[in-house]
Amino acid sequence: MLLKRLTMGIAALALAGAVSAQADETLKFGISAILSGPAVAYGTGTVWTAEQAAKKINDAGGLTIGGKTYKIEIIAYDNKYNAADGAKVAQTLINDDGVKFIVASMSTAAVSALQAISERAGVLHFTGAWGKRVKGKDFPMTFTQLNSPAEIFGPLYSYLHEKYPDAKTVYLINPNDASGQDVESVAHATWDQLGLQVVGSDFFDRNTTEFAPIATKIAEADPDILDLAATPLQVAGNVLKELEVLGWDGVKVNASGSSVNDIVTTGGAAANGTYIGLSADFSGPLATDIQRELNEKAKAELGQPLDQVTIMSWDSIAAIVAAMKATDSVDPAVVAAALPTLKFESSYGPSGFGLAASYGLPNQMLLPIIVSQIQDGKPVEIIRIASPELAK
């Protein structure tokens, strides 16, 4: 089985070795990530952030629960953004490595394959996958640690509707897979609710390299707003560059975008002005101290800043550790039962879990919605909108 395994980096491994003299046991945290292909930055960043969280715990002497002290080990494999490899990763993590806590996973198709094993095995599983199909009463051991379309689109689109009241039409493009189809349905419905007309909605294969035909269709429809929705930012940049050549100059939004470097690299100046629904400036004035600290270290060690996707493993580990401490247990079922009752300190500040009305279970991490815009090639946060449920 060709799976790419990543464990903690050299510095973290050295530290883990130092801690092992004090620790009684090892607590393994697994990750099913995209560690190859165009979206590799999401996977490597997510693994790196998990390593930082583990390092902080190990540096403090480990995690003492139930009279035992544990050191944390991070184990990650490449799910290659597909169901088949997602299933292989799940089998390896759970059956071979004995992982009881998966602190991050991505890709709706890969996550669905993982859940088929993790739920039966009683493994606590955190995911950043957006598909509603991976949430709810059928998946009591699955928690989500990233805002999804259901959380983002309403506030983001409402902001744009208020800022551009004369805009009446929207064009959607998405990748033609489970993730893209799920996102398109939510985006389409949200624009409809706001009274805007969706004049076109296209899907493209993720292996597509020629975007002139898609851009031509968009330009001919001449929408007031182009919603790139779940389109990967590298691809979005290519589309925007083609549209710039064609002279289209409407409102641009990539509702699921997070890594602004990708869209700027491919789109150049054409990316400027694009609104991003899943991006953050972790060096900016709205960032927390820990976000700034992690972001600066990531830029030095990874050569790229963190975003809302790559920071998610920090928050899931923070939630799991808070639940372990509250229950004095490392039993996944006990920890899972405690999570919805807790308030914990995430990288964004105080957080908790909720949205049972949307998903049937209160297993969605409550995080702020961040509206950003690309200005001069960089993300600029405009506003952080706190979850109203968190204030209850």
Beta strands in 19-131 (DSSP E): 25-33, 63-65, 68-78, 101-105, 124-127
Q: Are residues 230 and 158 in the same domain?
A: yes
Q: Are residues 139 and 10 in the same domain?
A: yes
Domain annotation covers residue 283: no
Distance CA 266, CA 243 (A): 13
Q: Are residues 303 and 358 in the same domain?
A: yes
Count of the separate structural domains present in the chain: 2
Give the distance from CA 44 to its chain's centroid.
Answer: 13
175-200: average pLDDT: 93
Residue 5: pLDDT band (50, 70, 90) is low
Q: Are residues 17 and 88 in the same domain?
A: yes
Point out the least confidently predicted range of 89-93, 131-135, 224-228, 313-317. 131-135
Closest CA to 34 of 93, 94, 107: 107
Q: Are residues 241 and 311 in the same domain?
A: no
Q: Are residues 9 and 21 in the same domain?
A: yes
pLDDT tens profile 251-264 = 999 987 777 888 99
Are the CB atoms for 228 and 252 separated by under 8 Å?
Answer: yes
116-145: average pLDDT: 94
Give per-residue burial for 9-22: e unless 16+ CB within 10 Å, then b: beebeebbeebeee
Q: Are residues 253 and 221 in the same domain?
A: yes
Q: Are residues 141 and 23 in the same domain?
A: yes
Residue 285 has pLDDT above 90, yes or no: yes
Q: Are residues 229 and 269 in the same domain?
A: yes
Residue 210: pLDDT band (50, 70, 90) is very high
Q: Are residues 40 and 155 in the same domain?
A: no
Domain annotation covers residue 75: yes
pLDDT tens profile 56-69 = 999 999 999 999 99
Q: Which of 257, 277, 297 is the last residue of a domain?
A: 277
Is 31 in a helix, a strand, or coil?
A: strand
Are the CB atoms for 204 and 172 separated by under 8 Å?
Answer: no
**For the purposes of burial, counting CB atoms within 10 Å of the CB of 248, is it exposed (0-12), middle (13-18) or buried (19 or more)?**
buried
Domain annotation covers residue 385: no
CATH number at residue 221: 3.40.50.2300
DSSP string, 300-352: HHTSS---TTTTHHHHHHHHHHHHHHHHT---HHHHHHHGGG--EEETTEEE-
Residue 108: pLDDT band (50, 70, 90) is confident
Q: Are residues 222 and 131 in the same domain?
A: no
Domain annotation covers residue 377: no
Distance CA 140, CA 160 (A): 35
284-289: average pLDDT: 94
Name the DSSP letter for residue 92.
I
Q: Are residues 54 and 162 in the same domain?
A: no
Q: Which domain holds residue 207?
A: 150-277
Are the CB atoms for 2 and 89 separated by under 8 Å?
Answer: no
Domain annotation covers residue 256: yes
